Amino acid sequence: MFEEIKEKSGRLKQKIEEFRTTLNIDDKVRKIQQLQLVMAEPDFWNDSQRSAAIIEELKSVKEDSDDFNNLHNRYQELCDLLELDDPAYTKEIEQELRSLEKEIEKFQLKILFQGPFDHASGIVEINSGAGGTEACDWANMLYRMYTRWAQDKGFKLSTFVEIRGEEAGLKNITFLIEGKNVYGLLKAERGVHRLVRISPFDANKRRHTSFASVDVLPEIKDDVVIDVKPEEIRIDTYRASGAGGQHVNRTDSAVRITHLPTGLVVACQNERSQHQNKQNAFKVLKAKLYQLKEDEQKKQIERLGGEKRKIEWGSQIRSYILHPYLMVKDHRTAHETSQAKDVLDGKIDDFIHHYLMFSLERIS
């Protein structure tokens, strides 16, 4: 029994050392020391913007270092128990080993958050597919799902643009979810989502299939350079649709920006200030330009023999079945659950986790 436990312990040690290398822990320890020296300089607080950026960077690298040290220390405690070579501790060692294995599985996800914007907030765009009112209602259900998910996490949600359906639901909605790792988590949701149910809009109670696409972009801060030349954009203003009554919007506060080289068009209308709508529209444009560049790089890799699967309109990633039975299934990972109503109420962490682990296996 002890030999088997020691063998498992050896595999965990190898995995932990892989974490050290992959996450550049030694480099981060040196970075922490450098940043702490900068913070000790007499004029550090003179530039509030610079000091805030350095503090944020220190917080990020220190978190990775501290989490790794905690994991490593737990492994050392397990080794101390093993060195006793006492069968009386077998049960305690087995429990600690199982607990450590779970911690290592969670820690593996950190490897997937090493992209330049994986720790950033996320901009989510939902578009209804063909199908009129049915598809618009489905887009609204997805919006509610992500809203509930954000609320459960304590994240802040702000809407940039909202275009209602003619009878019900949403044709399009773009919103920002502010919080750590939002983009790293929600990029698992990019793709087409399919709903099968008895339509509440069909007097004959027939079963309908609806589609909506979800796109997720990183929030890119102002200090990150994304080349947007003034001569390559066209900015139009128009009258945003207000809430009605005394609150109706009577000014041309809505903003539409067209990026001429790519044809990308973004719009923001939910703020009363034209300036704020313009800022938010630029935020979305920068995120879309970044994503466009990322997608082009992925296509180049695919042409050289890489991954051939496409995540785009027409290739559904997940199905939500509400009739004749309850089931939600992710077609990439094969993960499924019969708790469809819980999923639509924002309980999507299991699907995100399985997709991240699936992605980890593909890059390992």
- Which residue bears the tokens 């990633």? 317
Looking at residue 351, its pLDDT comes to 96
Distance of alpha carbon 334 from its chain centroid, rounded? 20
What is the domain partition of the chain in residue ranges?
2-113, 123-364
Looking at residue 305, its pLDDT comes to 47
Q: How many residues does the chain have?
A: 364
CB 35 within 8 A of CB 58: yes
CA 328 vs CA 98, 110, 134, 318, 339: distances in Å = 30, 26, 18, 7, 7
Looking at residue 18, its pLDDT comes to 87
Q: Identify the three-state secondary structure at position 209.
A: strand
> Residue 350 carries which side chain, given as an amino acid letter?
D
Looking at residue 108, its pLDDT comes to 80
Looking at residue 302, its pLDDT comes to 56
Looking at residue 124, its pLDDT comes to 97
Same fold, 2-113 and 123-364: no
123-364: which CATH architecture?
Answer: 2-Layer Sandwich (3.30)
* 13/7 Cα distance (integer angstroms): 10
* 9/76 Cα distance (integer angstroms): 10
Looking at residue 299, its pLDDT comes to 73
CB 272 within 8 A of CB 253: yes
Looking at residue 251, its pLDDT comes to 60
Which CATH superfamily includes the segment(s) 2-113? Release factor (1.20.58.410)
* 103/100 Cα distance (integer angstroms): 5
What does DSSP say about strands 316-321 and 327-330: parallel, antiparallel, or unpaired?
antiparallel
pLDDT along the chain (364 residues), means of 10: 78 89 90 95 92 89 91 91 81 88 82 82 93 92 98 95 92 94 94 93 87 93 75 89 45 88 92 90 91 76 48 72 96 96 97 88 64
* 351/349 Cα distance (integer angstroms): 5
Looking at residue 195, its pLDDT comes to 95
